[in-house]
Structure 1
Amino acid sequence: MITSLYLAGPDIFRPDAVAHGERLKALCARHGFEGLFPLDAQVAGHATGDARDTARGIYRADIGLLDAADAVLANLDFFRGAEPDSGTCFEVGYAVARGKPVYAYVPESGSLAERIHHRCPQYLAADAGMDVHGWQLEEFGLPLNLMLAVPCVMVVGGVEAALQRLRSDIDARRDVA
Protein backbone atom coordinates (compact mmCIF):
# COMPACT_ATOMS: atom_id res chain seq x y z
CA MET A 1 0.00 0.00 0.00
CA ILE A 2 1.36 3.40 -0.93
CA THR A 3 1.05 5.91 1.88
CA SER A 4 4.30 7.90 1.67
CA LEU A 5 5.94 9.61 -1.28
CA TYR A 6 9.50 10.85 -1.62
CA LEU A 7 9.24 14.20 -3.41
CA ALA A 8 12.15 14.16 -5.84
CA GLY A 9 13.08 17.12 -7.98
CA PRO A 10 15.15 20.26 -8.25
CA ASP A 11 12.60 22.04 -6.05
CA ILE A 12 15.14 22.03 -3.20
CA PHE A 13 17.12 24.66 -5.11
CA ARG A 14 14.24 27.16 -5.32
CA PRO A 15 14.66 30.37 -3.33
CA ASP A 16 11.47 29.42 -1.48
CA ALA A 17 12.38 25.74 -1.14
CA VAL A 18 11.14 25.21 2.42
CA ALA A 19 7.78 26.90 1.77
CA HIS A 20 7.45 25.09 -1.56
CA GLY A 21 8.17 21.78 0.16
CA GLU A 22 5.39 22.50 2.65
CA ARG A 23 2.99 23.21 -0.25
CA LEU A 24 3.99 19.94 -1.91
CA LYS A 25 3.44 18.03 1.33
CA ALA A 26 0.02 19.69 1.77
CA LEU A 27 -0.94 18.62 -1.78
CA CYS A 28 0.13 15.07 -0.96
CA ALA A 29 -1.98 15.12 2.21
CA ARG A 30 -5.04 16.26 0.22
CA HIS A 31 -4.65 13.11 -1.87
CA GLY A 32 -4.11 10.86 1.15
CA PHE A 33 -0.32 10.60 1.10
CA GLU A 34 2.48 11.69 3.37
CA GLY A 35 5.00 13.72 1.38
CA LEU A 36 8.66 13.35 2.33
CA PHE A 37 10.57 16.39 1.12
CA PRO A 38 14.39 16.05 1.01
CA LEU A 39 14.94 19.15 3.12
CA ASP A 40 12.95 17.49 5.93
CA ALA A 41 15.94 15.24 6.68
CA GLN A 42 18.66 17.77 5.98
CA VAL A 43 18.96 19.20 9.45
CA ALA A 44 21.48 21.78 10.50
CA GLY A 45 23.56 19.01 12.09
CA HIS A 46 24.70 18.00 8.63
CA ALA A 47 26.64 21.25 8.25
CA THR A 48 30.03 20.27 9.69
CA GLY A 49 32.12 23.02 8.18
CA ASP A 50 33.62 20.50 5.77
CA ALA A 51 31.70 20.59 2.48
CA ARG A 52 32.35 16.93 1.68
CA ASP A 53 31.20 15.77 5.10
CA THR A 54 28.10 17.91 4.73
CA ALA A 55 27.43 16.43 1.28
CA ARG A 56 27.80 12.89 2.67
CA GLY A 57 25.36 13.72 5.46
CA ILE A 58 22.81 15.07 3.01
CA TYR A 59 23.24 12.01 0.78
CA ARG A 60 22.66 9.63 3.72
CA ALA A 61 19.62 11.63 4.85
CA ASP A 62 18.07 11.59 1.39
CA ILE A 63 18.72 7.85 0.97
CA GLY A 64 17.05 7.33 4.35
CA LEU A 65 13.95 9.19 3.15
CA LEU A 66 13.95 7.27 -0.14
CA ASP A 67 14.17 3.98 1.77
CA ALA A 68 11.33 5.06 4.07
CA ALA A 69 9.02 6.07 1.22
CA ASP A 70 6.60 3.67 -0.46
CA ALA A 71 6.92 5.43 -3.83
CA VAL A 72 8.52 8.43 -5.51
CA LEU A 73 6.86 11.45 -7.04
CA ALA A 74 9.45 13.07 -9.31
CA ASN A 75 9.62 16.46 -10.97
CA LEU A 76 11.47 15.60 -14.19
CA ASP A 77 11.10 18.97 -15.87
CA PHE A 78 14.14 20.40 -17.62
CA PHE A 79 16.58 21.94 -15.14
CA ARG A 80 19.50 24.14 -16.13
CA GLY A 81 19.23 22.87 -19.69
CA ALA A 82 17.27 20.31 -21.68
CA GLU A 83 17.48 17.44 -19.19
CA PRO A 84 16.11 16.81 -15.68
CA ASP A 85 18.18 17.45 -12.57
CA SER A 86 20.92 14.81 -12.25
CA GLY A 87 20.28 14.26 -8.54
CA THR A 88 16.62 13.61 -9.27
CA CYS A 89 17.62 11.14 -12.00
CA PHE A 90 19.75 9.28 -9.45
CA GLU A 91 16.85 9.20 -6.99
CA VAL A 92 14.52 7.82 -9.66
CA GLY A 93 17.04 5.12 -10.57
CA TYR A 94 17.57 4.25 -6.91
CA ALA A 95 13.83 3.92 -6.36
CA VAL A 96 13.38 1.79 -9.49
CA ALA A 97 16.24 -0.47 -8.39
CA ARG A 98 14.55 -0.85 -4.99
CA GLY A 99 11.26 -1.83 -6.67
CA LYS A 100 9.42 1.34 -5.70
CA PRO A 101 6.82 2.82 -8.06
CA VAL A 102 7.81 6.17 -9.57
CA TYR A 103 5.29 8.70 -10.83
CA ALA A 104 7.02 11.49 -12.72
CA TYR A 105 5.72 14.68 -14.23
CA VAL A 106 6.75 17.02 -17.00
CA PRO A 107 4.94 20.26 -17.88
CA GLU A 108 4.19 19.64 -21.54
CA SER A 109 3.43 16.80 -23.90
CA GLY A 110 5.58 15.75 -26.81
CA SER A 111 8.65 13.65 -27.41
CA LEU A 112 12.01 14.63 -25.97
CA ALA A 113 13.07 16.14 -29.31
CA GLU A 114 9.80 18.08 -29.57
CA ARG A 115 10.14 19.36 -26.02
CA ILE A 116 13.74 20.46 -26.65
CA HIS A 117 12.68 22.12 -29.92
CA HIS A 118 9.90 23.99 -28.10
CA ARG A 119 11.81 25.05 -24.99
CA CYS A 120 15.52 24.94 -25.83
CA PRO A 121 15.87 25.34 -29.61
CA GLN A 122 19.41 26.70 -29.18
CA TYR A 123 20.52 23.12 -28.42
CA LEU A 124 19.39 21.76 -31.81
CA ALA A 125 21.17 21.61 -35.14
CA ALA A 126 19.48 22.39 -38.44
CA ASP A 127 18.95 18.63 -38.76
CA ALA A 128 16.23 18.12 -36.14
CA GLY A 129 17.63 14.71 -35.24
CA MET A 130 20.93 16.14 -33.97
CA ASP A 131 22.07 18.55 -31.32
CA VAL A 132 24.36 21.50 -32.07
CA HIS A 133 27.42 19.29 -31.48
CA GLY A 134 26.27 16.67 -34.00
CA TRP A 135 25.16 14.16 -31.41
CA GLN A 136 22.02 12.19 -32.19
CA LEU A 137 18.86 12.96 -30.24
CA GLU A 138 17.13 9.98 -28.73
CA GLU A 139 13.71 9.77 -30.32
CA PHE A 140 11.29 7.07 -29.24
CA GLY A 141 8.29 9.36 -28.87
CA LEU A 142 8.90 9.53 -25.11
CA PRO A 143 9.06 12.82 -23.18
CA LEU A 144 12.48 11.96 -21.72
CA ASN A 145 15.36 9.56 -22.17
CA LEU A 146 14.00 6.02 -22.25
CA MET A 147 15.87 5.12 -19.05
CA LEU A 148 13.57 7.53 -17.21
CA ALA A 149 10.38 7.38 -19.27
CA VAL A 150 10.06 3.59 -19.48
CA PRO A 151 10.17 2.66 -15.75
CA CYS A 152 8.18 5.70 -14.60
CA VAL A 153 4.51 6.45 -14.93
CA MET A 154 4.88 9.68 -16.90
CA VAL A 155 2.26 12.38 -16.35
CA VAL A 156 1.93 15.58 -18.35
CA GLY A 157 1.18 18.51 -16.07
CA GLY A 158 2.35 19.35 -12.60
CA VAL A 159 2.47 17.72 -9.23
CA GLU A 160 -1.32 17.91 -8.86
CA ALA A 161 -1.86 15.94 -12.07
CA ALA A 162 0.67 13.31 -10.97
CA LEU A 163 -0.98 12.96 -7.56
CA GLN A 164 -4.39 12.62 -9.20
CA ARG A 165 -3.05 9.88 -11.49
CA LEU A 166 -1.45 8.00 -8.61
CA ARG A 167 -4.62 8.26 -6.51
CA SER A 168 -6.73 7.14 -9.47
CA ASP A 169 -4.45 4.16 -10.12
CA ILE A 170 -4.59 3.13 -6.47
CA ASP A 171 -8.36 3.59 -6.27
CA ALA A 172 -8.80 1.52 -9.43
CA ARG A 173 -6.57 -1.12 -7.80
CA ARG A 174 -4.18 -1.02 -10.72
CA ASP A 175 -0.70 -2.39 -10.28
CA VAL A 176 1.36 0.73 -9.55
CA ALA A 177 4.63 -1.09 -9.10
Structure 2
Amino acid sequence: MKVYLAGPDVFLPDPLGIAERKRAICAAHGLTGIFPVDAHPQHPEEAELPRWLWIYRRNEAHMRDADAVIANLTPFRGPSADAGTIYEVGFMRALGKKVLGYSNVAADFVPRTLGFLGDAARRDAAGRWRDAAEMAVEDFGLADNLMIDGGIGEAGGVLVRREVPQAERWTDLVGFETCVRMLAAR
Protein backbone atom coordinates (compact mmCIF):
# COMPACT_ATOMS: atom_id res chain seq x y z
CA MET A 1 0.00 0.00 0.00
CA LYS A 2 1.35 3.43 -0.97
CA VAL A 3 0.75 6.24 1.55
CA TYR A 4 1.04 9.94 0.79
CA LEU A 5 2.72 11.66 3.76
CA ALA A 6 1.00 15.05 3.89
CA GLY A 7 1.90 17.88 6.22
CA PRO A 8 3.95 21.00 6.74
CA ASP A 9 7.01 18.78 7.29
CA VAL A 10 8.34 20.04 3.93
CA PHE A 11 9.02 23.38 5.67
CA LEU A 12 11.20 21.89 8.41
CA PRO A 13 14.93 22.71 8.45
CA ASP A 14 15.60 19.06 7.48
CA PRO A 15 12.55 17.86 5.54
CA LEU A 16 14.41 14.92 4.02
CA GLY A 17 15.40 13.69 7.48
CA ILE A 18 11.79 13.53 8.65
CA ALA A 19 10.81 11.99 5.32
CA GLU A 20 13.32 9.17 5.83
CA ARG A 21 12.10 8.56 9.38
CA LYS A 22 8.49 8.40 8.16
CA ARG A 23 9.38 6.12 5.24
CA ALA A 24 11.22 3.77 7.62
CA ILE A 25 8.17 3.57 9.91
CA CYS A 26 5.95 2.83 6.90
CA ALA A 27 8.33 0.16 5.60
CA ALA A 28 8.47 -1.53 9.01
CA HIS A 29 4.71 -2.06 8.67
CA GLY A 30 4.71 -3.13 5.02
CA LEU A 31 3.69 0.26 3.59
CA THR A 32 5.45 2.56 1.14
CA GLY A 33 5.64 6.21 2.16
CA ILE A 34 5.48 8.89 -0.54
CA PHE A 35 6.78 12.28 0.61
CA PRO A 36 5.65 15.43 -1.27
CA VAL A 37 9.19 16.27 -2.43
CA ASP A 38 9.80 12.80 -3.88
CA ALA A 39 10.63 12.71 -7.56
CA HIS A 40 7.80 12.17 -10.00
CA PRO A 41 8.09 11.91 -13.79
CA GLN A 42 7.90 15.37 -15.33
CA HIS A 43 6.21 15.79 -18.69
CA PRO A 44 8.22 17.87 -21.21
CA GLU A 45 5.60 20.65 -21.25
CA GLU A 46 5.95 21.02 -17.47
CA ALA A 47 9.56 22.25 -17.80
CA GLU A 48 8.21 25.70 -18.70
CA LEU A 49 5.79 25.92 -15.77
CA PRO A 50 6.38 28.22 -12.81
CA ARG A 51 7.98 26.22 -9.99
CA TRP A 52 4.92 26.50 -7.70
CA LEU A 53 2.61 25.04 -10.36
CA TRP A 54 5.00 22.20 -11.10
CA ILE A 55 5.14 21.39 -7.33
CA TYR A 56 1.33 21.41 -7.18
CA ARG A 57 1.07 19.04 -10.14
CA ARG A 58 3.75 16.72 -8.72
CA ASN A 59 1.99 16.54 -5.35
CA GLU A 60 -1.38 15.89 -6.96
CA ALA A 61 0.20 13.10 -9.07
CA HIS A 62 1.67 11.58 -5.90
CA MET A 63 -1.77 11.63 -4.28
CA ARG A 64 -3.41 10.00 -7.29
CA ASP A 65 -0.74 7.26 -7.16
CA ALA A 66 -1.28 6.65 -3.42
CA ASP A 67 -3.82 4.39 -1.76
CA ALA A 68 -4.06 6.47 1.42
CA VAL A 69 -2.91 9.64 3.13
CA ILE A 70 -1.57 10.19 6.62
CA ALA A 71 -1.68 13.92 7.30
CA ASN A 72 0.27 15.87 9.91
CA LEU A 73 -2.52 18.15 11.16
CA THR A 74 -0.52 19.75 13.97
CA PRO A 75 -1.52 23.44 14.06
CA PHE A 76 0.76 25.39 11.75
CA ARG A 77 1.36 29.14 12.06
CA GLY A 78 -1.99 29.62 13.78
CA PRO A 79 -4.75 27.63 15.48
CA SER A 80 -5.47 25.35 12.51
CA ALA A 81 -3.61 22.82 10.39
CA ASP A 82 -1.54 23.83 7.35
CA ALA A 83 -3.81 25.01 4.51
CA GLY A 84 -2.03 22.90 1.89
CA THR A 85 -2.35 19.80 4.05
CA ILE A 86 -6.05 20.47 4.54
CA TYR A 87 -6.42 20.66 0.75
CA GLU A 88 -4.63 17.33 0.43
CA VAL A 89 -6.92 15.68 3.01
CA GLY A 90 -9.97 16.90 1.07
CA PHE A 91 -8.49 15.85 -2.25
CA MET A 92 -7.79 12.34 -1.02
CA ARG A 93 -11.26 12.13 0.55
CA ALA A 94 -12.81 13.15 -2.77
CA LEU A 95 -10.79 10.44 -4.53
CA GLY A 96 -12.24 7.88 -2.12
CA LYS A 97 -8.83 7.06 -0.63
CA LYS A 98 -8.14 6.12 2.98
CA VAL A 99 -7.59 9.22 5.15
CA LEU A 100 -5.87 9.34 8.53
CA GLY A 101 -4.34 12.21 10.44
CA TYR A 102 -2.44 13.08 13.57
CA SER A 103 -1.77 16.18 15.61
CA ASN A 104 0.96 16.73 18.16
CA VAL A 105 -1.32 19.22 19.91
CA ALA A 106 -4.15 17.59 21.86
CA ALA A 107 -6.18 20.72 22.67
CA ASP A 108 -9.51 21.29 20.92
CA PHE A 109 -9.84 23.87 18.17
CA VAL A 110 -11.74 26.38 20.35
CA PRO A 111 -9.09 27.01 23.03
CA ARG A 112 -6.42 27.24 20.34
CA THR A 113 -8.53 29.75 18.39
CA LEU A 114 -9.29 31.78 21.50
CA GLY A 115 -5.58 31.87 22.34
CA PHE A 116 -4.88 33.08 18.82
CA LEU A 117 -7.58 35.79 19.01
CA GLY A 118 -6.57 36.95 22.49
CA ASP A 119 -8.60 39.88 23.83
CA ALA A 120 -10.53 40.12 20.56
CA ALA A 121 -12.57 37.04 21.55
CA ARG A 122 -15.76 37.59 23.53
CA ARG A 123 -19.02 35.81 24.23
CA ASP A 124 -22.23 37.15 22.71
CA ALA A 125 -25.60 37.34 24.51
CA ALA A 126 -26.26 33.67 23.69
CA GLY A 127 -22.87 32.64 25.13
CA ARG A 128 -21.28 31.88 21.77
CA TRP A 129 -17.69 32.94 21.17
CA ARG A 130 -17.21 35.74 18.61
CA ASP A 131 -14.14 37.48 17.20
CA ALA A 132 -13.57 41.22 16.73
CA ALA A 133 -15.53 41.14 13.44
CA GLU A 134 -18.50 39.49 15.22
CA MET A 135 -17.86 36.22 13.42
CA ALA A 136 -18.71 33.04 15.33
CA VAL A 137 -15.93 30.77 16.54
CA GLU A 138 -16.68 27.16 15.58
CA ASP A 139 -17.21 25.21 18.81
CA PHE A 140 -17.83 21.47 18.43
CA GLY A 141 -15.06 20.09 20.64
CA LEU A 142 -13.12 18.87 17.61
CA ALA A 143 -9.44 18.86 16.71
CA ASP A 144 -9.92 21.42 13.93
CA ASN A 145 -12.60 22.71 11.58
CA LEU A 146 -15.54 20.30 11.36
CA MET A 147 -14.84 19.61 7.69
CA ILE A 148 -11.45 18.13 8.59
CA ASP A 149 -12.65 15.94 11.46
CA GLY A 150 -15.80 15.04 9.51
CA GLY A 151 -13.97 14.14 6.31
CA ILE A 152 -11.52 11.89 8.11
CA GLY A 153 -14.28 10.22 10.10
CA GLU A 154 -16.52 9.71 7.08
CA ALA A 155 -13.58 8.15 5.22
CA GLY A 156 -13.36 5.58 8.01
CA GLY A 157 -10.14 7.12 9.24
CA VAL A 158 -8.94 8.43 12.54
CA LEU A 159 -7.38 11.66 13.79
CA VAL A 160 -4.88 10.86 16.54
CA ARG A 161 -4.27 13.71 18.98
CA ARG A 162 -1.37 13.79 21.40
CA GLU A 163 0.22 16.51 23.47
CA VAL A 164 3.98 16.57 23.01
CA PRO A 165 6.53 19.07 24.32
CA GLN A 166 6.84 22.18 22.14
CA ALA A 167 10.45 21.34 21.28
CA GLU A 168 9.31 18.00 19.80
CA ARG A 169 6.14 19.23 18.09
CA TRP A 170 7.51 18.72 14.57
CA THR A 171 9.71 15.68 15.19
CA ASP A 172 7.67 13.40 17.49
CA LEU A 173 6.29 10.59 15.31
CA VAL A 174 4.34 8.52 17.87
CA GLY A 175 0.98 9.78 16.52
CA PHE A 176 2.18 9.17 12.97
CA GLU A 177 3.22 5.62 13.80
CA THR A 178 -0.16 5.01 15.45
CA CYS A 179 -1.79 5.94 12.12
CA VAL A 180 0.62 3.69 10.21
CA ARG A 181 -0.18 0.74 12.50
CA MET A 182 -3.92 1.31 12.08
CA LEU A 183 -3.62 1.55 8.31
CA ALA A 184 -1.43 -1.55 8.07
CA ALA A 185 -3.92 -3.53 10.18
CA ARG A 186 -6.76 -2.89 7.68
Q: What is the CA–CA distance in structure 2 between the aligned matches of 1:83 and 1:134, rounded to whole Å? A: 19
Against the structure 1 CA distance between its residues 132 and 108, is the aligned structure 2 distance closer, same or farther, given a 3 Å change threshold? same
Query: What corresponds to 2:169 in structure 1?
Result: none
User: Identity of paired residues, percent?
Assistant: 35
**1:109 matched to 2:106:** yes
Query: What corresponds to 1:164 in structure 2?
Result: 178
How well do the aligned residues superpose, as a CA RMSD in angstroms? 2.7
Q: What is the CA–CA distance in structure 1 between the aligned matches of 2:105 and 2:87, rounded to whole Å? A: 22
| Contact 1:125 1:134 (C-alpha < 8 Å) held by counterparts | no
TM-score, L = length of structure 2? 0.77
Against the structure 1 CA distance between its residues 124 and 33, is the aligned structure 2 distance closer, same or farther, given a 3 Å change threshold? farther
What do the CA deviations read for 1:80-115 (whole angstroms, capped 9, x no partner)? 111211111111111000001111111233421023
Query: What corresponds to 1:37 in structure 2?
Result: 35
What do the CA deviations read for 1:23-75 (whole angstroms, capped 9, x no partner)? 12112222321110001137999996x7x621121111111110111100001
**1:122 matched to 2:118:** yes
Unpaired runs of 5+ in structure 2? 153-157, 163-171
Unpaired runs of 5+ in structure 1? none
What do the CA deviations read for 1:98-140 (whole angstroms, capped 9, x no partner)? 001111111233421023346x363751337123433211111
| Contact 1:109 1:115 (C-alpha < 8 Å) held by counterparts | no
The aligned length equals 167
What do the CA deviations read for 1:3-26 (whole angstroms, capped 9, x no partner)? 111010111011111222111211
Q: What is the CA–CA distance in structure 1 between the aligned matches of 2:83 and 2:119, rounded to whole Å? A: 18
1:169 Cα deviation (Å)?
5.7
Aligned to 2:77, which of 57, 75, 80? 80
| Contact 2:8 2:82 (C-alpha < 8 Å) held by counterparts | yes
What do the CA deviations read for 1:128-172 (whole angstroms, capped 9, x no partner)? 71234332111111111011011212111364324324523653x
Highest RCO, 1 vs 2 (Cα 8 Å, sep ≥ 6): 2
Letter in 2 for 1:39: V
Letter in 2 for 1:143: A
| Contact 2:2 2:32 (C-alpha < 8 Å) held by counterparts | yes
**1:148 matched to 2:148:** yes
Aligned to 1:98, which of 92, 95, 108? 95
Q: Specify the SS of the correspondent of 2:136.
A: coil
